[in-house]
Homo-oligomer: A and B are copies of this chain.
Amino acid sequence: MSPVATQDIEQARDAALAAADDLFYRRGTSAVSVVEIRDMSGVSLRRLYSMFPSKADLIGGWLTHRHETWMAWLETEVAQRTADGVAPVEAVFDSMTEWLKSSEFRGCAFINTHAETGELTAEHEELIRAHKRALIEFLATTTTRPNELAVIIDGAIVQAAVFKSTRPIESARACASALFGNEMRSAPME
């Protein structure tokens, strides 16, 4: 039927999503053209459009991919620190601090994309909300007051991006400290 180079469909998809992740996150979805993603990924326009029938679909694929990798990253980071005896809330803040300090940090991809209403479809909105809901649910598994914590974290992410500084995360930590009291200052429950 059609075995020609059909094997590397997965590779092509990975390459496309890797390029999308780099370019969309760094410059925003509307400022990046599909041709640029072709140039960076090496995946031809034809294949790109066969995998993602429109740019909106490509953005949707990117959001889904980014959600999975980012959540997995956070869960790993927090798990490692709590395994070392760090209290969960502290573990979350330590992980966040590391992210905010990284040179490629440009804020939350989902918040940023939400701000670009130009091409924000209903499907994208739902992906963004689902990400934020998932973060809150994850926080709920390790801490009390997940909603409050999520508000504090989003505020810190946004301000860190605007001010290009890690100081907002320290303000955020102070908020959490007031909120959680000694839930922050001890190992989980040993």
Which DSSP category, helix, strand, loop or mixed, fits chain A's interface? Answer: helix
Output the least CB separation between A174 and chain B (Å): 5
A residues near B, CB below 8 A? 26-28, 30-31, 106-107, 110-119, 128-129, 132, 145, 147-148, 150-156, 158-159, 161-163, 167-168, 171-172, 174-175, 178-179
Q: Which residues of B contact A114 (CB under 8 A)?
A: 107, 115, 161-162
Bound: A115/B156 CA distance, A = 15
Bound: A113/B112 CA distance, A = 9
User: Are the CB atoms of B115 and A107 closer together than 8 Å?
Assistant: yes
Smallest CB gap from A28: residue in B: B117
Output the least CB separation between A21 and chain B (Å): 15
Bound: A138/B184 CA distance, A = 30
User: Are the CB atoms of B152 and A152 closer together than 8 Å?
Assistant: yes
User: Are the CB atoms of A128 and B162 closer together than 8 Å?
Assistant: yes
Output the least CB separation between A167 and chain B (Å): 8
